[in-house]
Structure 1
């Protein structure tokens, strides 16, 4: 029986802070995470995508959350082939050629920083989100395999942004490739009918973990500002479309992480709460955890 954890992609979004979701007395950095962890048992940490994390921050995240809480941590942009500003790198690496040796050194520091989360059992998975420019093919597969080899002992999840990876003619090969890597295929919810739309495909590629990320259904997906791309308030009907897929995943994996990346304001936390209620009603025999109650 799968353990289903519901949460959001981040807990420090500026619009969430302004929404009033955090109560008085819980609006500083420590208070926000401690409060979030009483409401949800999993969160995605996206700040390591923008800058290399440090061990002190990981220790703080560990100490401010209860045992059993999970962090899914996004990979640093350089590791996934995204454009990376020199200022995002440590000063001693900024003049280094953008080559495999730099990625190896960046990975070493990234992994060292996250070791406290991993050692405490709080690391859910690393999330390697690849850019739309990384289309399927031998070169892309080699790039991903090299990343997996660096992280060979770590939980590893892959989200593609080029829909060609999940085209019906390619989907079976993509699933087999990720299975061979022991990498979780990240399922996504996005608007449909656009050139950049991703299909709501939810294959099982590891028995350990499945991940679903809900990005909203804005018609501006793939264009405009972050707020334009991800602004959406999910309805119960929209979320219910995923229940049969979640049921299938639950029969084949040990744990499922359902994460909401829609904005703005408190839209993500409200969607997570709605999904938790739907799961409790429709999958009553599953271990659905939307709120962690400290003992």
Structure 2
């Protein structure tokens, strides 16, 4: 039986900080991470999608967390095929023409930024969340193949946002594609009655890792504000439904990362606490 690590998709979300979950005296940058890592063994660095991570910050994260604590870093938007504003780029790259040269430099800087985590054995995975317009087919497979070439040696997890990747008739081909490249598949929990709903397929495509991300079940997914999309509090019964599926994943993978992305107030960390109790797994590294 593999390990099941439960955590949330952010420890710095402003709504979480305002919620009161962090006690007085633990609300500065260092205090928040130390407090979080005393309670959970894994966290997702969602900020990596919005700005390139820095080696300095990665080094500080290693210093401020216990041995065994791991970080899943979300890949920068430009590397996943999402639109990227010039303001999100480092200042010295903002005037560069868009093209392969810029993308190559961004790949190099992203790798440099996460290197302290990788070198310390604290990089759980790099999460590539591909955009909802990247569907299965030749173009999608070529994009995944290029990603595999550029991430050789990294632990990579892939979340497809186009529903067709995991719909009936395609799921085996999708699992085979990820397995061929050694990528861990990311299963999702979300509302299932929307046009953009991704089926919660729990394929194991890497013996090392499987990932499940809980987005909440808001019906505003894809249309509302960030708060509308992620405002959802899981009930105990909804989480209990997943417990046997998560244990089944742990029978086939060395580690299972269970990450709550319903980051509105303290809903994500509360759900993670509940899931940890349901699974009877350690809630700290």
TM-score range, shorter-chain basis? over 0.9
Indicate if the aligned counterparts of 2:184 and 2:211 stay in contact, CA closer than 8 A: yes
Indicate if the aligned counterparts of 1:204 and 1:253 stay in contact, CA closer than 8 A: yes
The Cα offsets for residues 32-51 of structure 1, whole Å up to 9 and x where unpaired, read as: 00100001010000111111
Runs of 5+ consecutive residues of structure 2 not aligned to the other structure: none
CA offset at residue 88 of structure 1? 1.1
CA offset at residue 92 of structure 1? 2.8
The Cα offsets for residues 155-182 of structure 1, whole Å up to 9 and x where unpaired, read as: 0010011101101111110000000010
Q: 5 Å matches for 1:219-238?
A: 219-238=219-238
Deviates most, 172-181 or 255-264:
255-264
CA offset at residue 194 of structure 1? 0.9
Selected match of 2:284 from 276, 285, 291? 291
Q: Following the alignment from structure 1 to structure 2, what is the Cα–Cα distance between the partners of residues 262 and 253?
A: 25
The Cα offsets for residues 65-108 of structure 1, whole Å up to 9 and x where unpaired, read as: 01100100000000000010011112332233333332221111
Q: TM-score, normalised by structure 1?
A: 0.94
Q: 5 Å matches for 1:1-295?
A: 1-280=1-280, 288-292=281-285
Count of matched residue positions in the alignment of Structure 1 and Structure 2: 285
Q: Following the alignment from structure 1 to structure 2, what is the Cα–Cα distance between the partners of residues 103 and 150?
A: 11
Deviates most, 34-43 or 240-249:
240-249
Deviates most, 95-104 or 127-136:
95-104
Q: Following the alignment from structure 2 to structure 1, what is the Cα–Cα distance between the partners of residues 102 and 147?
A: 12
Runs of 5+ consecutive residues of structure 1 not aligned to the other structure: 281-287
Q: Following the alignment from structure 1 to structure 2, what is the Cα–Cα distance between the partners of residues 247 and 28?
A: 36
Q: Following the alignment from structure 1 to structure 2, what is the Cα–Cα distance between the partners of residues 289 and 161?
A: 30
Q: Following the alignment from structure 2 to structure 1, what is the Cα–Cα distance between the partners of residues 132 and 196?
A: 8
The Cα offsets for residues 9-61 of structure 1, whole Å up to 9 and x where unpaired, read as: 00011111111110111010000001000010100001111111111111111
Query: What do you get for the CA RMSD once the two structures are aligned?
Result: 1.0
The Cα offsets for residues 121-177 of structure 1, whole Å up to 9 and x where unpaired, read as: 111000000111111111111112111111111000100111011011111100000
Q: Following the alignment from structure 1 to structure 2, what is the Cα–Cα distance between the partners of residues 183 and 103?
A: 21
Indicate if the aligned counterparts of 2:9 and 2:263 stay in contact, CA closer than 8 A: no
Q: Following the alignment from structure 1 to structure 2, what is the Cα–Cα distance between the partners of residues 110 and 46?
A: 14
Q: Following the alignment from structure 2 to structure 1, what is the Cα–Cα distance between the partners of residues 37 and 165?
A: 35
Q: Following the alignment from structure 1 to structure 2, what is the Cα–Cα distance between the partners of residues 269 and 48?
A: 20
SS state at 1:82 partner? coil
SS state at 1:17 partner? helix
Q: Following the alignment from structure 1 to structure 2, what is the Cα–Cα distance between the partners of residues 289 and 213?
A: 19
SS state at 1:214 partner? strand
Deviates most, 89-98 or 21-30:
89-98
SS state at 1:44 partner? strand
